[in-house]
A and B are shown apart, each in its own frame.
Chain A
Amino acid sequence: MTGQDHKHDDIGCLDAIEALYAYLDGELDGMSIEHVEKHMEHCRSCYSRRDVERALTEHLRRTGKAKVPASTQARLKKLIDNL
């Protein structure tokens, strides 16, 4: 285990990590969010993992998007208009 400082009513590192990406992607329900965040308050290791993965997510969102080249966009718009 890599976590630390667990409280008796805390979820463990395994459960926190299992839920990490769904948590960052906004896919957890309210109770599950509460469990994950409560764990992060006490576990520095999982807290750091969350920070790393959140930063990677933001980088992906910012840099992963493509832009259609202008010539391609013109061709596609013409094609769609002529359907």
Chain B
Amino acid sequence: MEKPGDDKAYFSRSVDENLDALYGVALRLTGRPADAEDLVAETAAKAWAAIGSLEDRTRFRPWLFRILRNCYISDYRKRSVRPNEAVYDELADGNADEDVCSMLMNESDDFLNWWSNPEREFFNSMLGDRLVAAMDELPEAYRITVLLVNVEGLTYDEAAEALGVPPGTVRSRMKRGRTMLQKALWAEAIEAGLVIGQGTQ
């Protein structure tokens, strides 16, 4: 079935504007550049086939990311570098709020104290690389949520639409995912010998 020309021009332009973001999310989901490229190509093909279902063009980004997410689950998750992690994610969501508050309230004073000392400069220098690596180590549900919100700039509502979950789940996953990142960096600092580990063991 032929599409009107303005639909095609709009679609091409919109996908092009989001190509880096699509590729970035695909790469962090699959863990392999070749799979990421194929996943983006499949996403674009399915999105074009379904362009008629996009009722509100201001929702193009979450709509497109949702298609990418569905393609990933259907065809790529089973051969991703971490194929079994989704089970853990769903179980963990249940107590996310309580767990996060507990971690932040009781275990991060050491991190804060260390943050304010002179070694922070060194920490900053290693932070760029390690932070992204730590994000890559998050379980899938947290990784993609932090990625969509903090890296790609989607709102919680847009991320919820992209992921097919309620906005409250995005909020919970952001808290838990970000807390996991902080703990991972703290552990990294201890392992690197920058601080004497305490309170996070």
- Residues in A lying within 8 Å of B, measured CB to CB: 1-2, 13-14, 17-18, 20-22, 25-27, 45, 48-49, 51-53, 56-57, 59-69, 72-73, 75-77, 79-81, 83
Is there an interface contact between A68 and B155, defined as CB atoms closer than 8 Å?
no
CB-nearest residue of chain A to B147: A64
Closest CB-CB distance, B101 to chain A, in whole Å?
6
Residues of B near A68 (CB, < 8 A) are 19-20, 23
Q: B178 in the interface, Cβ–Cβ < 8 Å?
A: yes
User: A49-B104, A56-B182, A67-B20 known; 15 other A-B pairs, CB under 8 Å?
Assistant: A25-B174, A45-B112, A56-B178, A56-B181, A59-B128, A60-B132, A60-B151, A64-B131, A75-B41, A76-B40, A77-B16, A79-B44, A79-B45, A80-B16, A83-B11
B182 touches A45 (CB 8 A): no
Across chains A and B, the number of contacting residue pairs, with CB separation under 8 Å, is 120
Cross-chain contact A45 with B109 (CB below 8 angstroms) = yes
17 residue pairs bridging A and B, Cβ less than 8 Å apart: A2-B109, A18-B97, A18-B175, A21-B178, A26-B155, A51-B115, A52-B112, A53-B182, A56-B182, A60-B131, A61-B150, A61-B153, A64-B24, A72-B23, A76-B37, A80-B15, A80-B48
Report if A17-B135 is in contact (Cβ < 8 Å); known contacts: A25-B174, A77-B16, A79-B45.
no
B residues less than 8 Å from A18 (CB atoms): 97, 101, 175
Instruction: List which B1-51 residues lie within 8 A (CB) of chain A.
Output: 8, 11-12, 15-16, 19-21, 23-24, 27-28, 33, 37, 40-41, 44-45, 48
B interface, CB within 8 angstroms of A: 8, 11-12, 15-16, 19-21, 23-24, 27-28, 33, 37, 40-41, 44-45, 48, 97, 101, 104-106, 108-109, 111-112, 115-116, 127-129, 131-132, 135, 146-147, 149-153, 155-156, 171, 174-175, 178, 181-182, 185
Q: Which residues of B contact A21 (CB under 8 A)?
A: 171, 174-175, 178
